[in-house]
Amino acid sequence: MNKRKSKPGAAFPLLPLLSAFLLAACATGPDYQRPNMDLPASWPAKPGNARQTTLSAARWWSVFADPVLDKLEEEALAHNAEVQIAAARVLEARALMGLAEADQNPVVSANAKGSRTGSSLATASPRPANSPRAQNSSRVTLDASYELDLWGKFRHASEAARAEMLAAESARDAVHLSLTAQVAQQYFALLSGDAGEATVRRVLAGRQERLALDRKRIEAGMLSEFETHQAEAEEAVARSQLAAIIQAREKQEAALVLLLGRSPREVMGGKLERGNPAPASAWVPEGLPAELLLRRPDLKEAELRLMALNARIAVVRAQFFPSISLTAYLGSESASLANLFSGPAGIFQFAASASQPVFNSGRAGLGVDAAEARRDQALAQYRKAVASAFADVRNALFALETTRQVAESESARSKALAQAHKQAELRHQGGITSRFELLEVERNYLQAELNRVDAERAQRAAVADLLKALGGGW
């Protein structure tokens, strides 16, 4: 008896086709690579002998050593509406990621069906004589279906969903960072308003005291009405300045209450506790790699969005290839409910199906073009965000040094004018200088005090801006 010799590979005729499918599956999506950008090697060193500070992103505002500010920040993070919205978006993204991962697994469902059917006696094809007119049918099955992920459609969709979930978490962190910076800046503005109000009230009290004395001197015929009118005008100017400062402070307090997420009743009538922030200064340690800025929450979000859209390209490309599905069911079917789970009632089916697009007016190709265009938009946005972040740090570093110099200059100017104001009052009481000279010195002193208060606010705000630009610290 002759035996036929099989040719090599004849027992595996599907291997070449399967290999081609696997190679196509590997080519469905572009692998993500971080965009190449021309970044600075490190941050510039601070001129002079500057104290280098290591900053923690978790509670960066602790650099001000103010327990009141600590409580306000914690309250804002717990109750602010934007924080709650960002947290809900994270939960939504996690659920969508779970749905995407579930698509990679089989779907199994249990089905039960019962019916009673009555046959007609007046049809052209009468029923058999031994067949009852009414028939019962019961069916119970366990159905399963599964689409083979040969081309990585579901795998890349899961990767995209995971990147979007991580992007939502980074967006939440960016909201936290932005909110804490806003709370600190509004708090500093509120303290500045309080200090400005106290300064104007002090000057106003002095002017009102002199005006009352002038009116008594007029009654005694010791002073002319011309000087009294001038004193009344200066007193009115101080009252106007006081009203404007109080109005601005009330707006700042209302804005801060809103950031804290308090109720409408507290927005209308709530008052905020005041503290005393310590003078703060911060600087990036010399030699710290500038690439660390890419960890900033908004930059992480932008890159993760780019990664997600890059993975979506593979999902769309998979539409070029066949869709292969496996289905099966196992169960029982019987005309009698009593025999439903007997051996002869058992039924089963295993099936496979494949679907290959032949003509769809170029929809698959256009879908890929759209996905790649969305990826290119996200790439441009990421590059722009990185450049903007470095610009933020540069501006914040410059503002930090500038505000420090301004604060020192305004403080020295205020001290000098405070002494000049005291001397002018003594000279005026001794009849050496006129009323107009005293008022001129007093106006300069008042403005210098207001400038000093605002310079202190700007210096604290500059520290907050730098920490925000750095992503909260290192």
Average pLDDT for 36-64: 69
Average pLDDT for 321-345: 85
In this predicted structure, the answer to whether residue 8 has a pLDDT above a threshold of 90 is no
Report yes or no on 120 lying in a domain.
no
**What does the pLDDT read at residue 52?**
46
CATH code of the domain containing 91? 1.20.1600.10
Among 10-14, 206-210, 430-434, the least confident range:
10-14
More confident residue, 305 or 33: 305
Asked whether 228 and 211 are in contact (CB, 8 A), the reply is yes
Looking at the structure of the chain, the number of domains it has is 1
Share of the chain above pLDDT 70, in %: 88
Q: Tell me the pLDDT tens digit for each residue of 80-139.
A: 999 999 999 999 999 999 999 999 999 999 999 988 888 777 777 777 777 777 888 888
Average pLDDT for 445-469: 92
Among 9-18, 328-337, 355-364, the least confident range:
9-18
Report yes or no on 27 lying in a domain.
no
In the sheet with 134-147, reading across from the earlier edge strand, the strands are 107-118, 134-147, 323-334, 346-355
Among 145-154, 263-272, 298-307, 388-397, the least confident range:
263-272
Average pLDDT for 343-368: 88
Report yes or no on 389 lying in a domain.
yes
In this predicted structure, the answer to whether residue 197 has a pLDDT above a threshold of 90 is yes
Report yes or no on 17 lying in a domain.
no
**What does the pLDDT read at residue 424?**
85
Backbone angles phi, psi at 354, to 5 degrees: -135, 140
Report yes or no on 18 lying in a domain.
no
Q: Tell me the pLDDT tens digit for each residue of 213-233.
A: 778 777 777 666 777 787 888
Average pLDDT for 402-425: 91
Summary mean pLDDT of the chain? 85
**What does the pLDDT read at residue 4?**
44
More confident residue, 126 or 191: 191
Average pLDDT for 11-22: 49
Report yes or no on 3 lying in a domain.
no
10 confidence band (pLDDT: 50, 70, 90): very low
**What does the pLDDT read at residue 285?**
67
pTM of the entire structure? Answer: 0.83
Among 273-282, 303-312, 354-363, 389-398, the least confident range:
273-282
Radius of gyration for the alpha carbons in the chain, expressed in angstroms and rounded? 39
**What does the pLDDT read at residue 178?**
94
Report yes or no on 28 lying in a domain.
no
Domain that holds residue 194: 34-112+135-282+290-469
Report yes or no on 7 lying in a domain.
no
**What does the pLDDT read at residue 200?**
93
Side-chain half-sphere exposure of 324, counting CA atoms within 13 A: 10
More confident residue, 14 or 249: 249
Share of the chain above pLDDT 90, in %: 50
Among 40-54, 101-115, 456-470, the least confident range:
40-54
In this predicted structure, the answer to whether residue 347 has a pLDDT above a threshold of 50 is yes
In this predicted structure, the answer to whether residue 448 has a pLDDT above a threshold of 60 is yes
474 confidence band (pLDDT: 50, 70, 90): low
